[in-house]
Amino acid sequence: MAADNAIFVGNKPFMNYVTAVVMQFTTQDAEEVTIKARGKFISRAVDVAEIAAKRFLNGQIYVDDIKIDSEEFENKEGKQVRVSTIEITLKKK
């Protein structure tokens, strides 16, 4: 199995991410897929997981685990900034 079937959710069109998740499970035959996002894209990552699991692959995958965390980094002005992160792991039933 591939070490890490991760989809990073950002500001591309919403359906790109849903399609990417669905393709991993179907054409790539992945056992699990992790959806990752930071900051304001966290809400979107949850939408991607819900739409993939309930509309496209209903009854075929489930939410196995959800982790939240924080990342600290230095912004352009040299100021220390904190951003929240999420990792949603979907698994084949």
Interacting residues toward a copy of itself by CB under 8 A: 39-43, 46-47, 49-51, 54, 63, 66-70, 82, 84, 86, 88
Pairwise CA distance, residues 78 & 54, whole Å = 43
Smallest gap, in angstroms, from Cβ of residue 45 to a copy of itself? 9
Q: Which is nearer to a copy of itself, 12 or 67 (CB)?
A: 67
Q: Which is nearer to a copy of itself, 20 or 35 (CB)?
A: 35
Radius of gyration of the chain (CA): 14
Residue 40 DSSP class: G
Smallest gap, in angstroms, from Cβ of residue 36 to a copy of itself? 13
Q: Which is nearer to a copy of itself, 15 or 66 (CB)?
A: 66
Residue 39 DSSP class: G
DSSP secondary structure letters along 7-36: EE--SS-HHHHHHHHHHHHTTS--SEEEEE
